[in-house]
Each structure stands twice: as C-alpha cells, then as structure tokens.
C-alpha cells in the first residue's frame, strides 16, 4: 500500500485514450477508472485498475489482439472464463502499472464497481475507513490475497447496501 498519488489520474487518462481507441469496435460505454487509485486520498496498491464492457465476450481473440497491439498482455484471473470476463495488464504481468477488466455488456459487476467507487469519492470518511481496513489487512500478511479480499468484503458490502438505499441512508 502506498499513499494516494495525484498523478494516478493522468496515468489512467493516458492509457484510457489508447485502450478506448483500439477497443472502439467492441466497447459499450466508457473505459472507467475503478479501484482505490480512482479515489483521491485513498491508500492503494500502485496499480491503476480500469474497466470496460464489450458487446460479446466471444470477440475475445480480436479484443486481445487489439490490446496486444498497444502493449497490453492477457493476464487471466481465476473465474474470468466462468464470468465471460477477460483481464489484461500493462506493461507486463510481473511489473504491471495498469490492470484492465473487460466485461461482457449486461454483467452486473461493472455497475457495482462504479457504485462503490462513486460512494467512496463522495464520502471521504468511508474512504478513510476503507484505507484503514486495507492497510491493516495488507500489514498482517501482504502475500495472502484471498485473506485480504475476504477481509475487505464486509465493509464493501455495507457500503454497497447504503449506496443502494440512496442519499441519507445509514
């Protein structure tokens, strides 16, 4: 975990432009900046998480080839195939500065990720609490990714429940 870096927004924008250009034939909607690097003031792993939806996951080979043409590498994650999702990284899996999640249009996960990001951007007190949780989990064992993800889940679910209920919910 590192302290928030203002340059993450520009680093996202640089890659957003490149990714959006090559994925234009398949993309539905914008390439979005998600994850902790999209929330000003929030500690994060220094990897820019990005997300885009495409019309059909069966276009995966063409999407992968287009991304490879601008330096992105296919980096499958567990569960990608089951979700009709693809994962890519830039510049390479060992030293990635960016991670791109490609979902098939209609998957509910992108909407959830955006709702969580938007809530943290609008509620700095929740972003600070999330940062404390993430830091404590990473400090306990920085290499246990399943434990880290599971440890964040209750907080994420509580934020999403409040975000779903709307403004003024507690």
Domain 8-165, CATH among 3.40.50.980, 3.30.460.10, 3.90.1170.50, 3.90.950.10: 3.30.460.10
C-beta atoms surrounding 74 within 10 Å: 19
Query: What is the C-alpha to C-alpha distance for residues 125 and 14, in angstroms, rounded to an integer?
Result: 29
pLDDT the model gives residue 9: 97
pTM of the model: 0.91
Query: What is the C-alpha to C-alpha distance for residues 113 and 45, in angstroms, rounded to an integer?
Result: 17
pLDDT the model gives residue 5: 97
pLDDT the model gives residue 168: 53
The two three-digit tokens of residue 127, written as one number = 């972003």
Q: Is 6 exposed, middle or buried (0-12, 13-18, 19+ CB in 10 A)?
A: exposed
Low-confidence residues of the chain: pLDDT under 70: 142, 166-170
Q: What is the pLDDT of residues 8-30, one digit of tens each?
A: 999 999 999 999 999 999 999 99
Most distant CA atoms of the chain, gap in Å: 47
The two three-digit tokens of residue 159, written as one number = 């934020």
Q: How many CA atoms lie within 13 A of 91 on its CB side?
A: 2
Query: What is the C-alpha to C-alpha distance for residues 35 and 47, in angstroms, rounded to an integer?
Result: 9
The DSSP H or E segment spanning 38 is: none
- Is 54:63 a contact under the CB 8 Å cutoff? yes
The two three-digit tokens of residue 132, written as one number = 């404390």
Domain residue ranges in the chain: 8-165
């Amino acid at each position: 975990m590192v302290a928030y870096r203002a340059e993450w927004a520009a680093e996202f924008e640089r890659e957003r432009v490149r990714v959006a250009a090559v994925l234009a034939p398949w993309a539905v909607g914008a390439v979005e900046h998600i994850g902790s690097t999209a929330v000003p003031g929030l500690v994060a792993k220094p990897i820019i998480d990005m997300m885009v939806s495409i019309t059909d996951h069966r276009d995966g080979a063409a999407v992968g080839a287009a991304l490879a043409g601008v330096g992105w590498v296919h980096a499958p994650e567990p569960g990608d195939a089951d979700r009709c999702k693809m994962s890519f990284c830039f510049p390479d899996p060992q030293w990635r500065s960016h991670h791109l999640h490609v979902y098939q249009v209609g998957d509910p996960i992108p909407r959830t990720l955006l709702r969580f990001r938007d809530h943290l951007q609008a509620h700095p007190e929740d972003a600070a609490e999330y940062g404390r949780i993430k830091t404590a989990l990473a400090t306990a064992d920085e290499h246990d990714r399943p434990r880290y993800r599971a440890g964040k889940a209750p907080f994420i679910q509580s934020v999403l429940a409040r975000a779903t209920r709307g403004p003024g919910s507690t």
